[in-house]
Amino acid sequence: MDYLIDSHCHLTFDGLREQVDAVIERAAAAGVAEIVTVATDLADAEKALALSQQYPSVRAIAGIHPHEASKVREGWDKELLALIKRDDVFAVGEIGLDYHYDFSDPQSQSRIFRRQLEIAAEAAKPVVVHCREAHRDAMAALADFPTLPGVAFHCFSGTAAEADEIWDRGYWISLTGVVTFKRSDGLRAVARLAPADRLMVETDAPYLSPEPLRNIRPNEPAYLIHTVACIAVQRGISSTELASLTTANTRRFFSLPAEQ
């Protein structure tokens, strides 16, 4: 594979941040030439931006993760809007709803999610959505913001029917190493059916190491090649073709600068 973009990872998280130089070098050696690092709160956003300024291959996006929704401080939305309006912040994310865990109550999650959708619409930036056991509510909220320039469901792990609803809206999905797991037959079916122009790939590192490295911790961008190989087999194309396809898609979704 000549060129890949990891569309979603967390270089600022424990396991990666303390060895970020080596992580980026290993990614480049594996063909993962660009990395989108994703912030989960305002403090994390500053760290992500600092990395993107230090490393030309790193791009930053910023948002309040649903787990952090109940912890925001007064005026958080003004601070986030100022960040999102920057040319070097390429999307609002990751944002959304998570009903699997109870780190933040559903009411706080909904309020923070909708405010961030307003911010994205105002700044004309795409959104990267975290959705776990909340498909109906997430889709209902997104329906109120039809002018968003792009919506991607990151780390998609839902059903084929949910994927169809996402695609029918013109939204995107991004697949992680979960697609390589033995139990993921349904997700591999989604990988086969995904519209070619609305599919991205990611590691979500430091989480979700793909097979055959599933027991390796932490996950890192270099391991994206295993996810790409799996999806390529499902779609009946070469890994190089899938890499080219998803790289073009990711660049278009985020409006990333042209390859250096």
Residue range 39-94, pLDDT digits in tens: 999 999 999 999 999 999 999 999 999 999 999 999 999 999 999 999 999 999 99
* CA angle in degrees (0–180, nearest 5) for 140-145-150: 105
Q: How far is CA 71 from the centre of its chain?
A: 22
Residue 179 lies in a domain: yes
The structure's pTM equals 0.96
Cis peptide before 218 (omega within 30 of 0): yes
pLDDT of residue 100: 87
Mean pLDDT value of segment 8-13: 98
β-strand pairing of 89-98 with 127-132: parallel
Quote the number of domains for the chain. 1
Mean pLDDT value of segment 194-201: 98
Residue 259 lies in a domain: no
Residue 21 lies in a domain: yes
Taking the CA atoms of 173, 178, 183 and 185 in sequence, report the sign of the dihedral they define.
Answer: positive
Residue 60 lies in a domain: yes
For the chain, count helices (H), then strands (E). 9, 8
Q: How many CB atoms lie within 10 A of CB 67?
A: 16
Query: What one-character-per-residue DSSP string does 101-128 give?
Result: S-SS-HHHHHHHHHHHHHHHHHHT--EE
For residue 205, give Cα distances in angstroms to 16, 34, 61. 8, 14, 15
Residue 198 lies in a domain: yes
- Quick check: 260 pLDDT over 60? no
Q: Which two tokens stand for residue 107?
A: 């009411």
Residue 212 lies in a domain: yes
Angle (deg, nearest 10), helices 239-254 and 224-235: 110
What φ, ψ does residue 28 adopt, rounded to 5°? -60, -40
Residue range 206-227, pLDDT digits in tens: 999 999 999 889 999 999 999 9
Parent domain of 250: 4-254
pLDDT of residue 191: 98
CATH number at residue 231: 3.20.20.140
66 within 8 A of 130, measured Cβ to Cβ: yes
Strand residues in the chain grouped as ranges (E): 4-9, 32-38, 58-62, 89-98, 127-132, 151-153, 172-175, 199-201
Residue 260 lies in a domain: no
Residue 84 lies in a domain: yes
Q: How far is CA 28 from the centre of its chain?
A: 19
**Percent residues over pLDDT 90 in the chain:** 95
